[in-house]
């Protein structure tokens, strides 16, 4: 089955700096890759997603890149703000949205 790895497990950046979180997946049939942000005690919230037929997607300060050959995808957050502090989970899915296999998460801390 699918296995998703995520690095780093924790990340601290200064406010205004960029943050990059990387995920790798094992199943070449996976075709949908969402990123979720989870604040303490709250539900995971989708922040951006990408389909396998797209190499890059951007939404304001957030971007995701996908390398299908290498089976990895990355989340990029620019101009980080303290409210970006949370745990970020990547996930991979076959059949465009069927059950997600999540990575172990990255705890991002943005220091003022």
Partner 1 sequence: EPEVTQTPSHQVTQMGQEVILRCVPISNHLYFYWYRQILGQKVEFLVSFYNNEISEKSEIFDDQFSVERPDGSNFTLKIRSTKLEDSAMYFCASRPEETQYFGPGTRLLVL
What is the dihedral angle through the alpha carbons of 108, 83, 39, 74, rounded to the nearest 10 degrees? -40
Are 13 and 74 spatial neighbours (Cβ–Cβ below 8 Å)?
no
Name the residue with tokens 């890759």.
Answer: 33
Structure tokens at 23: 């995920």
42 makes contact with partner 1 (CB under 8 A) = yes
Are 10 and 61 spatial neighbours (Cβ–Cβ below 8 Å)?
no
104 makes contact with partner 1 (CB under 8 A) = yes
Among 29, 46, 54, 111, binds partner 1 (CB under 8 A): 46
The span of 14-22, 56-64, 65-73, 103-111 binding partner 1 (CB under 8 A) equals 103-111
54 makes contact with partner 1 (CB under 8 A) = no
Structure tokens at 1: 């089955």
Among 64, 89, 108, 110, binds partner 1 (CB under 8 A): 89
81 makes contact with partner 1 (CB under 8 A) = no
Q: How far apart are the first and last CA of the chain?
A: 41
The nearest distance, CB 81 to partner 1, in angstroms, is 23
Instruction: Report how many residues bind partner 1 under the rule CB under 8 A.
Output: 22
Name the residue with tokens 């989340």.
Answer: 75
Binding site for partner 1 (CB under 8 A): 32, 34, 36, 42-46, 49, 51, 89, 93, 96-105
């Amino acid at each position: 089955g699918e296995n998703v790895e995520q690095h780093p497990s924790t990340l601290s950046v200064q406010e205004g700096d960029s943050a990059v979180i990387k995920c790798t997946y094992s199943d070449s049939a996976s075709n949908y890759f969402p990123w979720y942000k989870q604040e303490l005690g709250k539900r995971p919230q989708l922040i951006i997603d990408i389909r396998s037929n797209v190499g890059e997607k951007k939404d304001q300060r957030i971007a995701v890149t996908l390398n299908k050959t290498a089976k990895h995808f990355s989340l990029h957050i620019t101009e980080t703000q303290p409210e970006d502090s949370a745990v970020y989970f990547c996930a991979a899915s076959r059949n465009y949205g069927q059950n997600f296999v999540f990575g172990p998460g990255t705890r991002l801390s943005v220091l003022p």
